[in-house]
Chains A and B, each alone.
Chain A
Amino acid sequence: MKRFHRDKRASELTEAALTLPIVLLVLMAIIQFGIVVYGSQMAKEAARHGARMGSVVQGGGAAAVAASAAYQFAQSALPIGHPQVQILAPGGVVGTELRVRVTYQVPNLVGFPGLPRGPYRVFGEATARQEGW
């Protein structure tokens, strides 16, 4: 047993075997954090895009245009986030508010025991004033 303790052969391999899982976990957590922040920003950007597109629609259908534009933007920005679009205020009448919310379910890449499970829910909202001329 004493000889085993004093033996330094393969000690680097053993150290690497111990530290590598931790390094990988930290790396995955950084990537996960990046995706969540990106998702949050893209949700906001999609909501803003949808609200803006809807706010310039003339003659009705502002909410539908806003929802469609926001969904398309959100889908192209982060397809793995399964975007959902809600119209919180429909606009339509000149001067009224058109409020859009885009929600992403960002997949959880770090499935380590003790850490949060399930997807992370991030959302963004934007309000535009209905235009008319």
Chain B
Amino acid sequence: MFRLVRDQRGYSLSFWTSFFTFLLVPMLWMAIGIGRYSIAAAEVQEAADLAALAAVRDVNIRQFEASGVVQFTGAAYGRAAAYANMNTDYLASQGIRVHVVSISVDSATRTVRVHCAANISRLFPAIFPEIVVQRTGIAEVRMRVSPQR
């Protein structure tokens, strides 16, 4: 046994085998994984931004002119979801859909927040727990009340 430990033949081969198996390949795999996650997260953010900009046009104008309160028409949610998924090329190619989780309005600042989420677990091996990316898109409502009213 001591002879085996002291024996230096094949040392280089075992060193490089261990290096590739336990360090280089996992690091390469991790770098690719982080890259895929970053691309997916950026795409969800972009989808949320463009969804917010699309939804912001579906404000109930009559209500706003009457009371000054910003409220959405019924079409806003569907519109936001449609625009979110129109702007996800990579995720769509992987069969992943972006869901609009919620739309909220801040009447004081006249801003709309569209909260989007996508389950990107299928980009990674099944050993990982569920990976959900959540991003919020913000847009400002731009309207003016007619002066004659």
Contact = CB atoms under 8 A, between A and B. Distances in A.
Are A and B part of the same complex? yes
Interface of A: 37, 41, 44, 48, 51-52, 55, 94-95, 97, 99, 124-129, 131-133
A129 B53 contact: yes
Interface in B48-106: 50, 53-54, 57, 79, 83, 86-87, 89
B147 to A, nearest CB: 15
Contact of B86 (A52, A127, A131): A127
Contacts, number: 45
Contact of B87 (A55, A94, A127, A131): A127
B89 A129 contact: no
Overall SS of chain B's interface:
helix
Given A37-B35, A48-B87, A133 B142 contact: yes
The 5 lowest CB-CB distance pairs between A and B, nearest first, are A129-B54, A127-B86, A133-B142, A126-B87, A127-B87
A48 B57 CA distance: 18
Contacts of A131: 53, 57, 142
B57 A95 contact: yes
B87 A129 contact: no
A127 B83 contact: yes
A128 B87 CA distance: 9
B143 A128 contact: no
A48 B53 contact: no
B53 A55 contact: yes
